[in-house]
């Protein structure tokens, strides 16, 4: 745990101002950009501070860590996003606990997520994770096979999931030009899928983190995932 508390409320204000500026520069409405505060490795108190300053959207990447936070923060205003890789044998923990999943990459996982939905809540909002830059160290669908994957998924007519769009994680050590190129490629992929029949709700683009969210907004991001710029640096972990 970090030794000194970051100024979470101030950091959130600062990020919101940067979102407004980036949106204005791109001729976009900042209200169409959802800010997910990535709270992985951060203590519950930090999330509570964010909630007190009016922020209610959080992203977690492991079930184990998220479970403790979900238990501690039972606030109906909070919207939980699962942004980590998920094995299909863990799918049953998602519906009912999380509102969004950013990392769908297999039909098997999709079926299990839908099977675990009890029908009392809205369906899980789902994004397909795309490995847009073909990075062998990253999870996600190959860009070329993503449209077909989306079509197969639609055919399954799974009631417990709502297919909302695409997500990607930017390349490490990439230049701004490379990032912008990758984000634009994700947007074109989304546009192609959204144009198909039955895909009217396929409008979301989850891309951009602390060091590249302004580029992502310029390229059409509708969801940005920001951790360290809100909560401070994460403790070093070997993972
Ligand atoms: C950790 C993480 C983030 C946030 O990264 P920062 O650089 O701290 O903003 C965003 N997306 C995913 C998938 C992550 O795992």
In a domain, 199, yes or no: yes
Report the b/e string of 21-58 with b at 16+ CB within 10 A: ebbeebebebeebbbbbbbbbbbeebbebbbeeebebb
227 Cα: distance to centroid of ligand 1 (angstroms)? 6
In a domain, 96, yes or no: yes
Ligand 1 atom nearest to 38, measured from its CA:
4
In a domain, 93, yes or no: yes
Q: In whole angstroms, give the CA distance from residue 127 to residue 196.
A: 17
Q: In whole angstroms, give the CA distance from residue 167 to residue 101.
A: 10
Q: What percent of the chain has pLDDT above 70?
A: 97
Does ligand 1 come within 6 angstroms of the Cβ of 9?
no
* pTM (predicted TM-score): 0.95
Question: Which pLDDT belongs to residue 136?
Answer: 87
pLDDT in tens, 30-77: 999 999 999 999 999 999 999 999 999 999 999 999 999 999 999 999
* Domain harbouring 105, CATH code: 3.20.20.10
Residue of 14, 38, 98 to test ligand 1 pocket, by largest number of atoms within 8 Å of CB: 38
Residue from 146, 226, 236 nearest 190 by CA: 146
Asked if residue 124 lies in contact with residue 101, where contact means CB atoms within 8 angstroms, the answer is yes
Does ligand 1 come within 6 angstroms of the Cβ of 38?
yes
Ligand 1 atom nearest to 226, measured from its CA:
9
120 Cα: distance to centroid of ligand 1 (angstroms)? 31
Asked if residue 196 lies in contact with residue 163, where contact means CB atoms within 8 angstroms, the answer is no
In a domain, 236, yes or no: no
Residue nearest to atom 11 of ligand 1 (CA): 225
Q: How many domains does the chain have?
A: 1
In a domain, 172, yes or no: yes
Q: In whole angstroms, give the CA distance from residue 175 to residue 181.
A: 10
Asked if residue 208 lies in contact with residue 18, where contact means CB atoms within 8 angstroms, the answer is no
pLDDT band at 9 (very low <50, low <70, confident <90, very high): very high
Cβ contacts of 62 within 8 Å, gap of 6 or more: 40, 84
**Residue ranges making up the domain that contains 162:** 8-230
Task: Find tokens 């980590």 and name the residue.
Answer: 84
- Count how many Cα atoms sit within 13 Å of the Cα of residue 96 in the half-sphere of its side chain: 13
92 Cα: distance to centroid of ligand 1 (angstroms)? 24
In a domain, 32, yes or no: yes
Question: Which pLDDT belongs to residue 2?
Answer: 52
**What ranges make up the beta strands (E) of the chain?**
34-38, 57-60, 79-82, 100-104, 124-129, 161-167, 204-206, 223-226
- Per-residue pLDDT for 239 more than 50? no
- Count how many Cα atoms sit within 13 Å of the Cα of residue 20 in the half-sphere of its side chain: 6
In a domain, 3, yes or no: no
Q: In whole angstroms, give the CA distance from residue 48 to residue 55.
A: 9
- Per-residue pLDDT for 237 more than 80? no
In a domain, 64, yes or no: yes
């Amino acid at each position: 745990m970090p030794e000194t508390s970051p100024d979470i409320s101030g950091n959130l204000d600062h990020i919101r101002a940067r979102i407004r500026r980036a949106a204005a520069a791109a001729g976009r409405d900042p209200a169409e950009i959802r800010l997910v505060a990535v709270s992985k490795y951060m203590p519950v108190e930090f999330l509570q501070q964010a909630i007190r300053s009016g922020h209610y959207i959080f992203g977690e990447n492991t079930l184990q860590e998220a479970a403790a936070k979900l238990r501690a923060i039972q606030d109906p205003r909070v919207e939980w996003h699962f942004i980590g890789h998920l094995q299909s044998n863990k799918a049953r923990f998602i519906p009912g606990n999380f509102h969004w999943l950013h990392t769908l990459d297999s039909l098997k996982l999709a079926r299990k997520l839908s099977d675990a939905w009890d029908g009392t809540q809205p369906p899980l909002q789902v994004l397909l994770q795309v490995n847009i830059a073909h990075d062998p160290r990253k999870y996600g669908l190959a860009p070329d096979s993503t449209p077909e994957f989306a079509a197969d998924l639609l055919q399954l007519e799974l009631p417990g999931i709502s297919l909302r769009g695409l997500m990607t994680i930017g390349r490490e050590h990439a230049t701004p030009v490379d990032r912008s190129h990758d984000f634009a490629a994700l947007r074109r992929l989304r546009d192609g899928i959204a144009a198909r029949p039955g895909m009217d709700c396929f409008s979301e683009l989850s891309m951009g983190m602390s060091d590249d969210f302004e580029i992502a907004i310029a390229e059409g991001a509708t969801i940005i995932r920001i951790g360290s710029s809100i909560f401070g640096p994460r403790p070093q972990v070997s993972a």
